[in-house]
Amino acid sequence: MSTRHAEIHRTTAETDVLVSMELDGSGTSHIDTGIGFFDHMLTLFAAHARVDLSVTCHGDIEVDGHHTVEDIGISIGDAFRTAIGDKRGISRYGTFFLPMDETLAMVSLDISGRPFLCYDPGTEPMTPMIGTYDTELTEEFLRAFSTHAGITLHVKILYGKNSHHRIEAVFKAFAHALRIAIEKDARAGDAIPSTKGLL
């Protein structure tokens, strides 16, 4: 196991979340959120980012999925921020366009220490629910992650009609962009990738 590893246990009156994250992994995952489609998204996120990810959550999904999805975003973001450390030697930036059938999604990010989310789902209306997953929660997950991870995150669905394809393309593009950004740059050595000397 590398040093770029973190475990987070977050407990509130609404959720109990346990996250383990290994940035230098192989893409293995164990995901149990209680929301099937969200499990699928986190599983493919881990696989495409090549991070090892374990997420278990006991949440108040009898109310709805909002608290579960948001608190998992917070917890994964916290785990990422801990695991990435001082960011020495990383590429820092990542951008990826991902096609999925009729859909094209783009994610561009900066591991900047400055949290920001710009989320553009496109003009086509999204199906409200995919299984038991509220599609509005995609933005909530990304906002929670970007805020707690300390990254600048831009997400745009350029076009597409099928809501499953559109959200899956976002998660996969996010994974690939993150994978690019966290990779070590051999030419940078142990330098922090900023002229400020701090991220």
Task: Residue 95: give its domain's CATH number.
Answer: 3.30.230.40
Domain membership of residue 169 as a residue range: 5-182
Q: Could you identify the residue written with the tokens 């590429």?
A: 91
Question: How many residues are there in the chain?
Answer: 199
Say what angle helices 36-49 and 66-84 make with each other, to 10 degrees: 20
| pLDDT of res. 80 | 98
Whether 111 is covered by a domain: the verdict is yes
User: Is the distance from CB of 34 to CB of 87 less than 8 angstroms?
Assistant: no
Whether 192 is covered by a domain: the verdict is no
| pLDDT of res. 188 | 87
- Is the per-residue pLDDT at 2 higher than 80? no
Q: What type of residue sits at position 143?
A: R
Residue 102 banded pLDDT, cuts 50, 70, 90: very high
Whether 195 is covered by a domain: the verdict is no
CA distances from 71 to 4, 65, 101, 106, 185 (A): 22, 10, 31, 24, 32
- Is the per-residue pLDDT at 1 higher than 80? no
Tens digits of residue pLDDT in 129-152? 999 999 999 999 999 999 999 999
Whether 197 is covered by a domain: the verdict is no
Whether 129 is covered by a domain: the verdict is yes
Whether 196 is covered by a domain: the verdict is no
